[in-house]
Amino acid sequence: MSSSKKFLNTIESNRLQLFHGSGEGDLFLLEPRQAYSWDKPDGTPSVCASVELQPALFMAIIGSRKGGGWTTLLGGDQLYYTTETVWDRAVAENWTGFIYTFPREGFRHYKGFEWRCEDPVKVEGVYKVDITDLGDTVRVIQESDWDEFREKIKGRK
């Protein structure tokens, strides 16, 4: 676990900050963008953030490369997933990403862990994270099972 992840865990516990994961580490202002869910626009263009650290970590390291996704299970837990090929490459190359933090002001709760703001957001902090920070939270799917897996979870939405 990186020193950034340890510090971010402390920030998460106070529940006052939001987290945004990105593959880019040089942003000072986050601009609203169109979010997509199952290849369809999801809401209005916004800055998307999470009150929980894990979704931002996943987006920073895997999701920013369009290497996987997540879904909410029936019990409310999050399932993060990627293919075996993507995961093996991420581990071999020690993929990194960045977590941006900022206060909740100006954001509205969207759904689940997600908060959104339709205005540009000034970054308060930026922290580099790496593949080891995901731990065992990502389900790795073999390519031969990928299409069937995606259809199953898509049917739950």
The tens-digit pLDDT sequence of the chain (157 residues) is 788 888 898 888 887 899 999 999 999 999 999 988 777 899 999 999 999 999 999 999 998 887 777 776 666 677 777 888 989 999 999 999 999 999 999 999 998 889 999 999 999 999 999 999 988 888 888 888 878 887 777 765 4
Please spell the DSSP secondary structure of 108-156, one letter per residue. EEEETTEEEESS-EE--EEEEEEGGGGTT-EEEE-HHHHHHHHHHHHHH
- According to the model, what pLDDT value does residue 27 have? 93
Contacts of 4 (CB under 8 A, 6+ apart): 99, 127, 128, 129, 133
- According to the model, what pLDDT value does residue 131 have? 93
- Give 123-127 contacts, CB < 8 A, sequence gap 24+: 123/27, 123/28, 123/29, 123/30, 124/17, 124/100, 125/11, 125/100, 125/101, 126/25, 126/27, 126/98, 126/99, 126/100, 126/101, 127/4, 127/7, 127/8, 127/98, 127/99, 127/101
Q: Indicate the DSSP class of residue 75.
A: T
- According to the model, what pLDDT value does residue 125 have? 94
- According to the model, what pLDDT value does residue 155 have? 66
- According to the model, what pLDDT value does residue 108 have? 96
The domain limits of the chain are 3-156
- According to the model, what pLDDT value does residue 147 have? 80
